[in-house]
Amino acid sequence: MKKILLIIVTTSFAFFGATSKKDRRDQTDPCTIYGSIYFETKKGYADYVIYVEESEAFADLIVFKEENKLMADDTGLWYITDKRDFADYTVYIDKSDDNVDFTVYYTDLLAYAGCK
């Protein structure tokens, strides 16, 4: 009985520990990040670290801030929420573009939102 329990516990740790936050960041495709977004105040708690570009030309993702959560259903459409528990993703805005997961540029035009 003890051997079976040990195998189950060991397998569970291997399964749940398979993808760490760093592994997800290495596989980051900014084009897949849309929906409700919470801006984290601590870098270590965020799913992704981003840098806000001043120019559209250098950004990985062009973001349009949606007013309605239901409309944030495609690439580059973000609904900003103030409740972490209801967010699809949490991001931290870094002041430097060194070692960030991706860069964004905010647009006022819905048609420009998306990836390059």
**Strands, E, within 5-116: which ranges?**
35-39, 48-52, 61-66, 77-81, 89-93, 102-107, 114-115
C-beta separation of 91 from 37 below 8 A: yes
Residue 17 has pLDDT above 60, yes or no: no
pLDDT tens, 19-64? 444 454 556 899 999 999 999 999 999 999 999 999 999 999 999 9
Mean pLDDT, the chain, integer: 85
Residue 37 C-beta-side C-alpha neighbours within 13 Å: 25
DSSP, collapsed to helix, strand or coil, labels residue 54 as: coil
Between 74 and 11, the higher pLDDT residue: 74
